[in-house]
A = this chain, B = another copy of it.
């Protein structure tokens, strides 16, 4: 029933902790439920980790590092369009890929909604570089039509579409039953979000006709 079997007791604890933390949140999760699910004694968490806080931190690091290695190709190798697609694919995979334990993305979604101190690291070390990667592709796509805050808006529009599916799973299931069920879900979603966003970026006019002093050009 578990994801990665035949590991040490620490890993069994981490897996159980991940599931329970993801399901109930930090405050809702109890040490007793975690250890029961791991088939261990309550004292185990004090033995292998110091306390609940450190167990949580370890769980978070575990989830992130396990979900981290995704193929970001060399930028020169792909067109800007393809890079946007790769970005969306990777983000969705991290969140929704049924091959990796469901609680990874669930826990990350929780953290994005109300981050703990540990998560600040993850933001800086993982999110920020990926965002810059995406923004370079976007700049290549729109030239000087967008810059500054407008570029950030484009970025958040794309990321927002992706995170929505992870952070609102149950609401989506209620409103659009069946939408999340196809087994090639990630690929279909990635295709849609990429097409949607590329169509938008290509055909959209900037709000603030750029901060520079060049004349406003009719877009495309």
The answer, yes or no, to whether A204 is at the interface (CB within 8 Å) is yes
> A177-199 CB contact bits vs B (8 Å, 1 = yes)?
01100000000110111011101
* Copies of this chain, whole number: 2
- The answer to whether the Cβ of A77 comes within 8 Å of any Cβ in the partner chain is no
**Min CB gap A210→B, angstroms:** 14
Given the interface contacts A25-B27, A109-B113, A199-B199, does A167 sit within 8 Å of B163 by beta carbon?
Answer: yes
Q: A196 touching B204 by the CB < 8 A rule? A: yes
Q: Which of A117-155 contact B (CB under 8 A)?
A: 120, 123-124, 127-128, 131, 149-150, 152-155
**Chain A residues with a Cβ closer than 8 Å to the other chain, count:** 58
A179 to B9 alpha-carbon distance, docked (Å): 44
Q: Are A159 and B163 in contact (CB under 8 A)?
A: no
Known contacts A25-B25, A28-B27, A195-B205; A112/B168 CB under 8 A = yes
Shortest C-beta distance, A173 to chain B (Å), equals: 10
Closest to A177 in B: B152
Select one of B115, B163, B174, B196 contacting A120, CB under 8 A: B174
A176 within 8 A of partner (CB): yes
Residue A170 lies at the interface, judged by CB distance under 8 Å to chain B:
yes
- CA A113 to CA B152, docked complex, whole Å: 24
Smallest beta-carbon distance A83→chain B, Å: 18
Which residues in A have some Cβ–Cβ distance to B below 8 Å?
Answer: 24-28, 109-110, 112-115, 120, 123-124, 127-128, 131, 149-150, 152-157, 159-165, 167-168, 170-172, 174-176, 178-179, 188-189, 191-193, 195-197, 199-205, 207
Q: What are 25 A-B residue pairs whose CB atoms fall within 8 Å in the complex?
A: A25-B114, A112-B167, A115-B170, A127-B171, A127-B175, A149-B179, A150-B192, A153-B179, A153-B196, A154-B196, A156-B164, A156-B176, A160-B160, A160-B164, A161-B161, A161-B164, A163-B168, A164-B164, A167-B167, A192-B207, A195-B205, A195-B207, A199-B201, A199-B202, A200-B203
